[in-house]
Structure 1
Amino acid sequence: MFTKIQHTQFPPDQPLFLWDGECGFCKYWIIVWKSKTEGLTYTTFQEAASDFPDIPLKEFKKASRLIETDGSVFSGPDSAYRTFYYFRKPKKRWHRLYQKSGFFQKFSDHTYNWIAKNRPLMMNLTKAFWGKNPIRRKPYWMIYLLGLLGIIAILLYLLH
């Protein structure tokens, strides 16, 4: 499990999201987020970890971090939720829910940890549900859902 780091003594000039540049799943979703956010810089921890000597490298390897200009650090799923503040249409409720609900925080942390340990699977699922191009995502999941609903409808019809 990743460690939650609250603060760094080396705040960036602009809000900064640090992620694992060797993770294809991470790269896919960073491209998506970059297309939706403004005022937030994205860089890999491999490029910028040395700028934050008070955060152990092993912690950058375990989870993404969003570092604000006041030195506040948000870790793992909360770093993702915090990026929603920078969306063109900000969605602050997820970060607030994470901060206020112990259940949601534990659920998010464990889910994030599971995803981090299963990145190849998550990348395959991402491509299956949204396609290979993060800029031109296609809602394949809707086709699967409609197919499943169709099968259920046929089964219900046959059972009556």
Structure 2
Amino acid sequence: MFEKIEITENPPPKNILIWDGDCGFCKFWKTRWQEKTKGKIVFKTFQDYASHFPDIPIKEFKKASRLIETDGKIYGGPDSAYRSLWHSGNKVWHQLYNSNSIFRSLSNHGYNHIAKNRSFYFKLTKLLFGKDPLNLKPYWLLYLIFLVVIIIII
């Protein structure tokens, strides 16, 4: 499980989300978040940018994405995504993560499971939503309709 790190002694000049540049799943969803945040967050890979934060162990960047804000506060794992959405105006997920321990626990465990199985979830993402993160296709809905039709026929 990723470690919660509260603050860095090296705050960036702009809010920055640091992610794993070797991960296709991460790149797909980073592209979605980048579109949603409309320049309010800079996106950098930990491979290129972790050295700017010597007080954060590299192993923690390998375990989870990190949103580091200009005041030095750090949000990790699922909350890095939720807090990123907060910057786009969607404050619900970050607030829920902070106020509901059950949601926080489910988010953390789900994130950890996905992080350990990125290749599988990247394939599943493309199967359910298509290959273009900026133009998601509702393929999952077609699969659901197909399943319902089969159940009705049987």
Q: Which TM bucket (shorter chain)?
A: over 0.9
TM-score relative to the length of structure 1: 0.92
Correspondence for 1:158: none
How far off its partner does 1:125 sit?
A: 0.2
Residue by residue, what CA displacement relative to the aligned partner does 1:88-146 show, whole Å, maximum 9, x if unpaired? Answer: xx111111111111111111111100000000100110110011122222111110111
| Runs of at least 4 residues off by over 4 Å | none
Map 1:37-48; keep pairs closer than 5 Å: 37-38=37-38, 39-48=40-49
Distance 2:85 2:129 in 1: 20
Size of the alignment, in residue pairs? 153
Correspondence for 1:75: 76
Q: Extract unaligned runs of 5+ from structure 1.
A: 156-160
TM-score relative to the length of structure 2: 0.95
Residue by residue, what CA displacement relative to the aligned partner does 1:32-76 show, whole Å, maximum 9, x if unpaired? Answer: 111111211111011110100110111111100000100000010
How far off its partner does 1:77 sit?
A: 0.5
How far off its partner does 1:152 sit?
A: 2.7
Letter in 2 for 1:19: W
Instruction: Name the SS of the counterpart of 2:18 in structure 1.
Output: strand
2:86–2:92: 8 Å Cα contact kept in structure 1? Answer: no
Max Rg structure: 1
Map 1:20-59; keep pairs closer than 5 Å: 20-38=20-38, 39-59=40-60
Map 1:84-103; keep pairs closer than 5 Å: 84-87=85-88, 90-103=89-102
The alignment-based identity, stated in percent, is 53
Q: Aligned Cα RMSD in Å?
A: 1.0
Distance 2:148 2:23 in 1: 34
1:130 equivalenced with 2:129 (yes/no): yes
